[in-house]
Structure 1
Amino acid sequence: MRNFFLLLALFPATLGLAQKKAKSPKKVKVEKIAASITEAELKEHLYVIAGAEMEGRETATEGQRKAASYIEQHFKSIGLLPGNNGTYQQTFPVFRDSLINASLTVNGKAFDLNKDFQPTLQLTRPGSQYFSEVVFAGHGIVDPDAGIDDYGSIDVKGKAVLLLDGAPSSYKTTKRGWRAPNGLYGKYNSAMSKGASAIIIIGNGFPRQALQPNGNMYTNLYADKQPASLFTVSTDLATAIVGESLKDLIARGKDAAIAPAVFKANTMLELQKKVSQLESTNVLGYIEGSDKKDEWLILTAHYDHLGKRGDVIYYGADDDGSGTVGIMEIAEAFAMARAGGNGPRRNVLVMAVSGEEKGLWGSEYFSENSPVPMDKVTADLNIDMIGRVDTERKSADTLNYIYVVGDDKLSTELKPISEMVNKKYVKLSLDYKYNDPADPNQIYFRSDHFNFARKGVPVIFYYDGMLQADYHKPTDTPDKINYKLLKKRADLVFYTAWEMANRDSMIKRDLELPAMAR
């Protein structure tokens, strides 16, 4: 970047000398380093990252590869060292399904794909399954905390299970999300844990639009055991299995749990698909530490988004272009300090992650295949959306706040450090709304920091709360970013990172990982 060499004049050492001898960070005024993070450069980067050429940066697409190349070139230009065993990109496999054919028959009657049933491609392996009976297990809810198990004592190992959608009105829970006991995948996982070979959900909205030609992408093609097939079916098809009593079961199930039952029905499920192997990458660069170079601080933000739907681009300027350009500028600030002989004591690894929108894929892969020892990582500071304002927020500090998530978990030292740094340098209003374990959004488990937390690494997640307005819409564009606020939030992350990278000891790990409530 053009400001890199300009601001380098603030420091007495040349880049070459800096690599040989690092000065104490206490001898430089950190505000001068933070001044390299500018609204202009944040905006310049974001109009590229969230521009039309990047095509929405969907994982394992050409747009994502272009974005990765842009970030890598920036890391190289500011002098970051390659962060993945000598390379700047860490590749992980991605698989994509293309549907060839699917069929479903009950007692010899064939039903129509999309009109009466649809398979979930990534969970259903190619082949045919034949069942002489189907187990009806009500809503399929298993929630030990609520004392509920819709399967009762019935054995479903190796069998096909038929489930109602949703939950009865009598079921009360604060758990939310797709993995909640009453969510689709919560039910699927419960049936899997019971040993079911096929799960059939009675769904709404039939007939449905045809599945996309390329299906959904996923990363877990290989598994220690094969997953159960998952089909969603119409009430007409479910009636062919259960009979006319299905209407009564559905009616009673609106208010209360339904006892399991077995129905005789010769049921055949068949799927043919093509599996293609693709790949995606995380982009990693690091600033070498001085006297504590066996320890690491990690900064993360995901650079992927939703891609294109036809000709419509989902730009993802806030989600998470804002976090991506934030860590790019923070990396430049650390690099300039290091080049001037003033930075940091620990290695600072800066990683732009892909696959977050698909299910935290890139950070999960990194956590399982890390080029740095996780027990030597003092903390992960993760940014996911810091360029907009929460449209539901009505308090007076709307233009001077940030949601801070996770600072009260895993370490008692995180919150005091975070608050001290903010009070000294930035003076944002720190909002802890999403730290509440009862928060229905369960934000703590929904971004890349969680894959560090589950490995015991203390984490702080910075977030603007923009879950309404343009969230996951093609209208999340760079012209709607508040660049002044974006810079201020990036400053907070930089100052916090500076403190953590230069303190005498690693952040202690003295609290337990909270249980996932979704």
Structure 2
Amino acid sequence: MRRLCLVMALAAPWGVMAQKAANPVTYANSITAEDLKKHLYIVAGAEMEGRETATEGQRKAAAYIENYFKQLGLAPGVNGGYQQPYPVFQDSLVKASIDINGKKFQPFTDFAANLSSSNSSAFMASEVVFVGYGISDSTRDDYKGIDARGKVVLVLAGTPPATQQPAPGTRRGFGVSPVIEAALKNGAIAVLQVQPGFPRRTGSTRGFQYVNGFRKTIYPNLYAVSDQVAEAIMGTDYAAAKDAMKAGNPTAKSYAANVTVDFNKVVTELQSTNVIGFLEGTDKKDEYVFLTAHYDHIGKTAAGVINYGADDDGSGTVSILELAEAFVKAKAAGKGPRRSIVFMTVSGEEKGLWGSAYYGDHPVYPLEKTTVDLNIDMIGRIDPKRKIGDSTNYVFVVGDDKLSSDLRPISEAMNKKYTKLELDYKFNEPNDPERIYYRSDHFNFARKGVPIIFYFNGTHDDYHRPGDTPDKINYELMAKRAKLVFFTAWDMANRNDMLKRDIPLDLPAR
């Protein structure tokens, strides 16, 4: 028994050394322009209808990815399945009406409500309180001397003149949120805010999707209303109030008015998914390399025209499929990775990084054992704004100098040895005005402390437009960029140690 153990102990390092010495080029070469093109014409085809989150097109794309993972022989990545579901909510308007002193006002002509931020509510009130800007904080209190508890409050849009701007650190002037917070603090049941732009174009009876269906605080509804609604409540005082607003000294006042408000919506719980395939490692199988991309896009225009999303991010999605195939072939040849590799395509990125945020908060594999996330979002085209270097042989690299001092040396070494792309760090600057670091799914790994690298080709005239089609992709360049990801992942999956986490997470406010 002891001799057998000794033989096994001596054999193990030799196996690891042989595995580390394996040439990855053979497997990288399975990532071809032809295969990428074949996948992309399907993923970014008309049948997928632009792959908008929580739609049939997105579900078709998820099924295609799952079926390909199965075909490759990847293990299910989530509790025996390939898809990690998360909830998505959407509101539909049933009824909206406002009646003041017997006069009926019409939706979109005279008033409007934000479906997703409003709650079904019906009431009859006999008093409305005008409170100027509707501000109530440490620097200004438009509610002073007014009892707004259980009342409807009327405010005018805008901020005080420059001489009365808020002190540094206060939130006034940033949208309507402070107005709603002030109304809640003072006990108001609803806010009527006079806004310009009425009558408005008739809107959809369906609201935007959202994921925060369960909220800690239920705020009073805010209704944007026209000048005519305000005049129906305040009469001739309204003109004087507008002048006082310009001067920064409106006077709060209560008005007797019979107000009937009826707002009714239904909330539908939809669902979207991340698609996850798993390739088990060898001696370090309890450590993980993540390869990610988002497979959703923005769907169709109001006129029904498809936004195909070939580059954004069909290019990243099909690259994940090809990367999976390359690693599966390596494992079949006995050269599989030491660490396990998780291939994850997420949805909801275009809505606000929803899918990756959900994974970050509900990880399937321990984040502390996740050595890296290599994220791909748009690698199929050329940025026409890039005027330096060789525009046919580059990739923007983001995040490789953050969280781990191991990232950039590995990335640059793999590129120098194998792909010889121009690595452009333009978008890596923390003060970059486009804030690319925060705009794709790697961010939800980085915020949890997982080292990341993000690969990106920059934007172009077809970004988020119907013209982002598969025929405009540079497939040879896309294959080369995907190979860089493969070689980088190969090194990180097979090195002795996990990547160091030796650079503090120091992110500015988003």
Question: What's the TM-score, normalizing by structure 1?
Answer: 0.82
1:45 to 15, 39, 42: 39
**Per-residue displacement from partner, 1:449-492 (whole Å, max 9, x unpaired)?**
122122221222212221x4111111111111111221121112
RMSD: 3.3
Q: What is the deviation of 1:99?
A: 0.4
Q: 1:337 maps to which residue?
A: 330
- Cα separation, 2, equivalents of 1:171 and 1:453: 40
- Cα separation, 2, equivalents of 1:504 and 1:169: 60
1:476 aligns with 2:468: yes
8 Å contact from structure 2 (residues 128, 154) kept in 1: no
Matches within 5 A, 1:274-423: 274-309=266-301, 310-423=303-416
2:454 to 461, 464, 489: 461
Q: What is the deviation of 1:237?
A: 4.3
**Per-residue displacement from partner, 1:389-422 (whole Å, max 9, x unpaired)?**
2232222332222222222322233223222222
Pick closer, same or farther for the CA change 1:88–1:153 going to 2, 3 Å.
same
Q: 2:177 maps to which residue?
A: 188
1:117 to 111, 117, 141: 111
- Cα separation, 1, equivalents of 2:178 and 2:488: 39
- Match for 2:215: what amino acid? A
Pick closer, same or farther for the CA change 1:439–1:227 going to 2, 3 Å.
farther
- Match for 2:81: what amino acid? T
- Match for 1:60: what amino acid? A
SS of equivalent to 1:123 = coil
- Cα separation, 1, equivalents of 2:479 and 2:343: 18
1:264 aligns with 2:254: yes
**Per-residue displacement from partner, 1:3-25 (whole Å, max 9, x unpaired)?**
xxxxxxxxxxxxxxxxxx98843
Q: 1:83 maps to which residue?
A: 77
- Match for 1:66: what amino acid? K
8 Å contact from structure 2 (residues 36, 479) kept in 1: yes
Q: 2:486 maps to which residue?
A: 494
1:244 to 234, 239, 246: 239
Q: What is the deviation of 1:425?
A: 1.9
SS of equivalent to 2:432 = coil
- Cα separation, 1, equivalents of 2:160 and 2:494: 51
**Per-residue displacement from partner, 1:309-353 (whole Å, max 9, x unpaired)?**
343111111111111011111111111111111121111101111
Pick closer, same or farther for the CA change 1:269–1:440 going to 2, 3 Å.
farther
Q: 1:29 maps to which residue?
A: 23
- Cα separation, 2, equivalents of 1:24 and 1:150: 69
Matches within 5 A, 1:49-64: 49-64=43-58
- Cα separation, 1, equivalents of 2:195 and 2:371: 46
Q: 1:211 maps to which residue?
A: 203
- Cα separation, 1, equivalents of 2:356 and 2:117: 22
Pick closer, same or farther for the CA change 1:210–1:150 going to 2, 3 Å.
farther
Q: What is the deviation of 1:191?
A: 4.7
- Cα separation, 1, equivalents of 2:333 and 2:160: 61
**Per-residue displacement from partner, 1:227-253 (whole Å, max 9, x unpaired)?**
45344344554566782245446766x
| More moved, 418-427 vs 350-359 | 418-427
SS of equivalent to 1:218 = coil
**Per-residue displacement from partner, 1:40-99 (whole Å, max 9, x unpaired)?**
011100000000111111111111111111100111111111100110011111222110
Larger radius of gyration: 2
- Cα separation, 1, equivalents of 2:320 and 2:439: 19
Q: What is the deviation of 1:432?
A: 2.2
Q: 1:7 maps to which residue?
A: none
- Cα separation, 2, equivalents of 1:168 and 1:508: 52
Pick closer, same or farther for the CA change 1:108–1:492 going to 2, 3 Å.
farther
2:498 to 482, 496, 506: 506
**Per-residue displacement from partner, 1:100-122 (whole Å, max 9, x unpaired)?**
11234567754321112221111
- Match for 1:62: what amino acid? E
- Cα separation, 2, equivalents of 1:28 and 1:422: 17
- Cα separation, 2, equivalents of 1:413 and 1:481: 32
**Per-residue displacement from partner, 1:166-205 (whole Å, max 9, x unpaired)?**
9989999xxxxxxx98664xx5378549956756665444
- Cα separation, 2, equivalents of 1:119 and 1:79: 50
- Match for 2:440: what amino acid? S
- Match for 2:38: what amino acid? E
Percent identical among aligned pairs is 50
- Cα separation, 1, equivalents of 2:386 and 2:503: 30
- Match for 2:314: what amino acid? G
- Cα separation, 1, equivalents of 2:149 and 2:476: 58
8 Å contact from structure 2 (residues 308, 467) kept in 1: yes
8 Å contact from structure 2 (residues 19, 335) kept in 1: yes
- Cα separation, 2, equivalents of 1:89 and 1:445: 25
8 Å contact from structure 1 (residues 123, 228) kept in 2: no
SS of equivalent to 2:306 = strand
SS of equivalent to 1:308 = coil
Q: What is the deviation of 1:284?
A: 0.3
2:129 to 129, 133, 141: 133
SS of equivalent to 2:93 = strand
Question: What's the TM-score, normalizing by structure 2?
Answer: 0.83
8 Å contact from structure 2 (residues 380, 457) kept in 1: yes
- Cα separation, 2, equivalents of 1:171 and 1:437: 33
SS of equivalent to 2:337 = coil
**Per-residue displacement from partner, 1:362-382 (whole Å, max 9, x unpaired)?**
112111222111111111111
Q: 2:4 maps to which residue?
A: none
- Cα separation, 2, equivalents of 1:249 and 1:403: 53
Number of equivalent positions: 476
Matches within 5 A, 1:150-229: 162=155, 164=157, 184=175, 187-188=176-177, 191-192=180-181, 195=184, 203-229=195-221
